[in-house]
A = this chain, B = another copy of it.
Amino acid sequence: MKINMMHGAGGAVFGELLGETLTKYKNNNAGGIGLESLDDGAVIPIDGKNIVLTTDSHVVRPLFFPGGDIGRIAVCGTANDLAMMGGKPLALTCSMIIEEGFDIEILERIVQSMDSALEEAGASIVTGDTKVLAKGEIDGIAINTAGIGIAEKPVRDSALKPGDIIIVSGTLGDHGLAIMTSREGFDFGEQIRSDVAPVWNLVNAAMQAGEVHAMKDPTRGGFSNAINEMAEKSGVQVRISEESLPIRRSVRSASELLGINPLDVANEGKVVMGVAPEDAEAILAAIKKDKYGKDAAIVGRVVEGKSVIMETGIGGERFIEPPVGDPVPRVC
């Protein structure tokens, strides 16, 4: 069997590779939440402190796109996976694999962008690594960041409970469609911009405002993938109301034109959470106060059963399926 593009697209095909090959370690847990949980990161209790650990490699192209660049994604991607575990981002590593001939001025711009994102995320890059490959052995640059954070109270993606309310922290599909339209050179009047941003402040505000049972960032595979993983791991059914889903008009039209479901593509500054029903309004209000949470919305609820169901405006129902893989290659 050979690796194909879908194996890296964060959807169902990737899930198989993950289960059958990539997670076959006997040494898969250091106490706490380990690889067996397939969550956004791991949690390792050390002397009563919960250390969160996570990693992501970034190969997005173009390197600079409307709303962000590979450096900003490299910092936010990892900071956000820490936040998804309930962890305040603290320290990151940065490992770059660079192609011979790569322009050092571009590298400088990337480093500057990472530094601004760090400033915003409240974290630091404290160690790194650099490998250079010969021309043609890597396309441009790949940036890995790993990070540690500290969680007062770790949050899993698998603890949705019947009765919970589903909140998304803002509009869906912006990042994937920004990459796609900028690559294709489309112009939709208003430019579609990536949402790439660090969400710890927003997440922290939500956790202070009430009980957050489960969180996940809808990155590769988008909202469809994240909400299906959450529902399946929690052993519950999620019912989404189609009309409540925040999607920008420009994103909607671009999606239609490109034949892409905006719910299947990556977001880089959003959270999907399941919260206690009695706290839902307070949590929503707290999120909306944050810079990156203005378009937050209650989009569904959790019931007993399985699968994710979309309730349409005209009283119909259909499944929201996890995508086979994110339809946009090299999206992050």
Quick check: A131 and B5 within 8 Å, CB to CB? no
Quick check: A55 and B102 within 8 Å, CB to CB? no
Asked if A100 lies at the interface with its beta carbon under 8 angstroms from chain B, I say yes
Quick check: B125 and A133 within 8 Å, CB to CB? no
- Size of the chain A interface, CB-CB below 8 angstroms: 87
A 82-118 to B, binary, CB cutoff 8 A, 1 in contact else 0:
0000000011011111111111110110011011001
**Given the contacts A8-B132, A137-B138, A124 and B54 also touching, CB distance less than 8 Å:** no
Asked if A314 lies at the interface with its beta carbon under 8 angstroms from chain B, I say no
Chain A contact surface mostly: mixed
Quick check: B126 and A133 within 8 Å, CB to CB? no
Known: A27-B119, A42-B91, A55-B144. 17 other contacts (CB 8 A): A7-B132, A17-B104, A23-B128, A24-B108, A25-B114, A27-B118, A27-B124, A30-B123, A30-B124, A30-B126, A41-B127, A46-B46, A55-B146, A56-B129, A57-B131, A93-B146, A131-B142
Q: Which residues does chain B contribute within 8 Å of A42, judged by CB atoms?
A: 91, 126-127
Q: Which residue of B lies closest to A38 (CB)?
A: B127
Asked if A1 lies at the interface with its beta carbon under 8 angstroms from chain B, I say yes
Query: Which residues of A are at the interface with B, using a C-beta cutoff of 8 A?
Result: 1-9, 14, 17-18, 21-30, 33-35, 39, 41-42, 44, 46-49, 51, 53-59, 90-91, 93-105, 107-108, 111-112, 114-115, 118-119, 123-134, 136-139, 142, 144, 146, 148, 150, 329-330
Q: Which residues does chain B contribute within 8 Å of A22, judged by CB atoms?
A: 96, 107, 111, 128, 130
Quick check: A2 and B102 within 8 Å, CB to CB? yes
**Given the contacts A47-B49, A111-B25, A98 and B7 also touching, CB distance less than 8 Å:** yes
| Residue from B3, B56, B124, B146 in contact with A98 in the complex, judged by beta carbons closer than 8 Å | B3
Quick check: A55 and B104 within 8 Å, CB to CB? no
Q: Which residues does chain B contribute within 8 Å of A134, judged by CB atoms?
A: 5, 329
Q: Which residue of B lies closest to A44 (CB)?
A: B91
Quick check: B57 and A95 within 8 Å, CB to CB? yes
Quick check: A98 and B46 within 8 Å, CB to CB? no
| Residue from B25, B59, B90 in contact with A30 in the complex, judged by beta carbons closer than 8 Å | B90
Name the distance in Å between A323's Cβ and chain B's nearest Cβ.
Answer: 15
